[in-house]
Structure 1
Amino acid sequence: MTPPAKVTNRAPSASTLSVLRRFFAERGDPEPFYDDLARRALDRFPVPVEGRRIADVACGTGQFTAALTERGARCVAIDLDRADIAGARARGLDAVWTDARWLPLADGSMDGVVCSNLLEHTPDPGSALAEIARVLAPGGWAWVSWTLWWSPWGGHAIAPFHLLGPRIGARVRHRLLGPPTGKNLPFERLWPTHAGSILRIVDELDQLQLDDCYPRYWPSQRWLMRVPVLREVAGWNAVLVLRRTADE
């Protein structure tokens, strides 16, 4: 597995220091952080996006869709959260409410799929990945990221108590700090998701080829994702770059 050649997609992004500041303010004001994160990801994107038909699966309020559109992509935004879909539409984006496991897209209709931080929010990531493969044209690509459960932010609303496990961690967090706020609670909108299990799912999907795998926040340290156990903690947020294989 060798890193693909870098492709420059125009438009400047925020500095690393700016993104870090906005990360620490994410719970109270998430939009600036996720806008910057999308633009920075596209600055390092391994494929061109201009003129491509791209599905933003689990679009949230449309940060990636907006950034892709700025760079000339033709996008459709998809999410299961009705409030997020309303937010995306308020930006003037083409947004569709649906489950990522049943995408309302024709077979082979997409040049690319962006899927930022979905896999930990579905009880069946294998079905979501199979749907991504279905809607991609042969040779099409997918950029898929998710938060690793054992990383510092893996438990979302119950972090850092998730390190005790999803059930015990939730109980300890509730006892010490009261009930967690937010929508990403274990086994409701959040499921423990690990690099090892996701890589096995990808390996079993004949239609998808793994082109690259790296930590989203420190992409130069790809070696981390080749080390079991260590990657689950230090990888923090993992990225897969996938390619749709040609039909036989």
Structure 2
Amino acid sequence: MAVTDLFARRATLSRSLRLLREFRYEQSDPDRFYGALAADTAAMVTDLWRTATGTEPTGRTVLDVGGGPGYFAAAFDAAGLTYIGVEPDPDEMHAGPRTAGAAAGYVRASGLALPFADASVDICLSSNVAEHVAQPWRLGREMMRVTRPGGLVVLSYTVWLGPFGGHETGLWHYLGGERAARRYTRRHGHPPKNNYGSSLFAVSAADGLQWAAATGALLAAFPRYHPRWAWWLTRVPVLREFAVSNLVLVLQPLVATGSTIAGS
């Protein structure tokens, strides 16, 4: 059985449309948006674990790199996993409903140098973080390092040339990230939260697939928000850069990878 077989049953057109509707509320109603995204993410990770290991994930430890406030903590707690969130920004860490994730542990740290021992967690998740760091594959290597052999690494990120690559700057990023940021600043009187070159970077689908393949641990790659019948887009060079809005890389370390401090 392929690692995606169980999750593929959830990847319907109705799910895609439901999530697309929720995206509209990211700024105006973050509880609604992030709550829905967190629940969907927990379901995805749970399904991937079940098919990859043949066991239930209950009681397993999930390390969420860039976990932010309490939305994901609440969702994984409801799924029966032990949640640890890593977040470098204290404002993000306290931005959401902390009571929802009160039972979870949080660590203030960078995903580029995780303060965890080698092979110390069962699942390492990064949801929409890689495009916000200048060295995304250093982040990926750190995730691999802290995940025990036989565990899962789930790295999901927004592809730059996809329709959501510019984040709140909209489709203007197709004219250049810096130009899009300047336009946003003129219109709103302040720079975007996700500012190109400092907190938003151009990460391609091809780069992620190349890095993942080079690890020798890649189990699957698929578009996170697409229905199952559109997953073939991931296999088509160039087209995938525009059509795969968010790429999920699923990896399973087979041996301990050792410490990784430097590199890009």
TM-score after normalising by structure 1: 0.87
Q: 1:22 is aligned with what amino acid?
A: E
Distance 1:247 1:18, change over 3 A: closer
- Is 1:60 the counterpart of 2:62? The answer is no
Q: How many residues align?
A: 240
Aligned to 2:171: 160
The counterpart of 2:249, out of the listed 231, 240, 243, is 240
Aligned to 2:260: none
| Contact 1:55 1:76 (C-alpha < 8 Å) held by counterparts | yes
Q: CA separation in 2, counterparts of 1:132 and 1:219?
A: 27
| Contact 1:122 1:189 (C-alpha < 8 Å) held by counterparts | yes
Q: CA separation in 1, counterparts of 2:132 and 2:210?
A: 18
Paired residue secondary structure (2:48): coil
Q: How much does 1:4 deviate? A: 3.6
Q: CA separation in 2, counterparts of 1:216 and 1:21?
A: 15
Q: CA separation in 2, counterparts of 1:140 and 1:212?
A: 14
Deviating more after overlay: 94-103 vs 164-173: 164-173
Distance 1:180 1:240, change over 3 A: farther
Distance 1:113 1:233, change over 3 A: same
Stretches of structure 2 lacking an aligned partner (at least 5 in a row): 9-13, 51-56, 258-264
| Contact 1:157 1:185 (C-alpha < 8 Å) held by counterparts | no
- Aligned residues: percent identity? 33
Stretches of structure 1 lacking an aligned partner (at least 5 in a row): 9-13
Q: How much does 1:51 deviate? A: 1.2
| Contact 1:158 1:185 (C-alpha < 8 Å) held by counterparts | no
Aligned to 2:79: 71
Paired residue secondary structure (1:244): coil
**Structural RMSD (CA):** 2.5
Q: 1:31 is aligned with what amino acid?
A: D
Q: 1:246 is aligned with what amino acid?
A: V
Aligned to 1:11: none
Deviating more after overlay: 128-137 vs 77-86: 77-86
The counterpart of 2:239, out of the listed 227, 230, 233, is 230
The counterpart of 2:162, out of the listed 129, 145, 151, is 151
Distance 1:155 1:109, change over 3 A: same
Q: How much does 1:129 deviate? A: 0.6
**Residues 65-86 of structure 1: per-residue CA shift (max 9 Å, x gap):** 2211111111111111111222
